[in-house]
Structure 1
């Protein structure tokens, strides 16, 4: 792995990861950089990052990367800011894109643009999907680049679809179909038709609904929200109605961390969660 590749993907990116103002430790000719990394999904994440770091060090023997697994995204953010205020910030961090404005206000990160010098660098930065860059840029500067950009997707149990008389190879195509399918799949409170987690990353899962309603939640300056827009209201009402009106979804807070387990145990027939859980689903779902 080339030096530029690691420094600009693992280091500068994120699920909106951001490049921290970097202190470096130098000892006996070796530069050590710390890399804060959260673990929030199933799968051998730490092994992968260790392998990336080892590959980078092999190609760049004068640099040692120290991955530090700092907990969840929220815990990693707290630890990164604490280290920053204590004078020992990580050189690089993988953090959520929604933390960008806080990190800018705290003077904890620097724009990646300052490190983009060569034509190859510029080509690399321009290679990302524009949609993924929208919440990594503000004020004409780029503060993070996409890294492990997960997408919220619908997983469904094909066996339970068959039992309910549904086509196991056809997922609901719209809101109305999702409700109709969920009604056929719900069995009292022992098996819910669908679960959409509302802890952990509720704003992110909610965007899956609000975007379908053609609504944007905030502007790119980070100083205005659009929660009063009709599309946002419609999306929230739909989510609430899944449990309150249609009775196909658990009431109250649905936990992010336990929703995959509920799916594996057939306590819900459909679930919304991240593509980052795909390995977890493949390894633990004993059904197609």
Structure 2
């Protein structure tokens, strides 16, 4: 990617008003995402048709009238989507050149079984080759998810260490990592886990060199303003919030109380959308979701 394009994307992610759309449901979560969109499993045969349906859904979202940089700063893509096209043009190019939206790539390959109250990321084979391809396609950054289920200090330390280890590989390839150690919103020790997580992240941020900057994607914390000091850290471009299973309205209500976090919602963004809707109804429903999430983010 040309340095001027990278600089423009970084400026938008640092200073822009709006949120990041998460369009990155992968193999395991695709049937559920399609089901919410009114496409049941008896409506497609095999993975090729399934991924065709999800690509059509994402294309409909990306090309909708309200899906522009006025409210949507960035979009996180599944690898198949990154390598796909819309009307013959690569999806990352459509996002940045046509919509003014910064493209990101989901790079994790799912979660290990729970141990020490957390789920680590599975190994990511061929990561550096994927990152080189992503850079060539105009991708600005990446996203990697692990999950914390309880306030276990050893587990949380391991999750954060793995997040930063992968993040350093991303940085070495010239991209900006979004580190996503999600805290399960249903955890009985959510607030305690978040306090531990904040301290672990802060320790690792202090080990980054000048010029190594990351983003953080975190569950909306129980304590208002908990992550403000992370957002202000010189190695952090932005702290974004995941919806974590909250409804759009509840996620937005909770986020609106957090002064330094913006949204990066997936399910909440697509709430109420259906393949069976007319374009007018679809665009109205999506536009309403975009506006709610935008207002909560600013």
Fold shared, TM-score > 0.5 on shorter chain: no
User: TM-score, normalization: structure 2?
Assistant: 0.27
User: TM-score, normalization: structure 1?
Assistant: 0.28
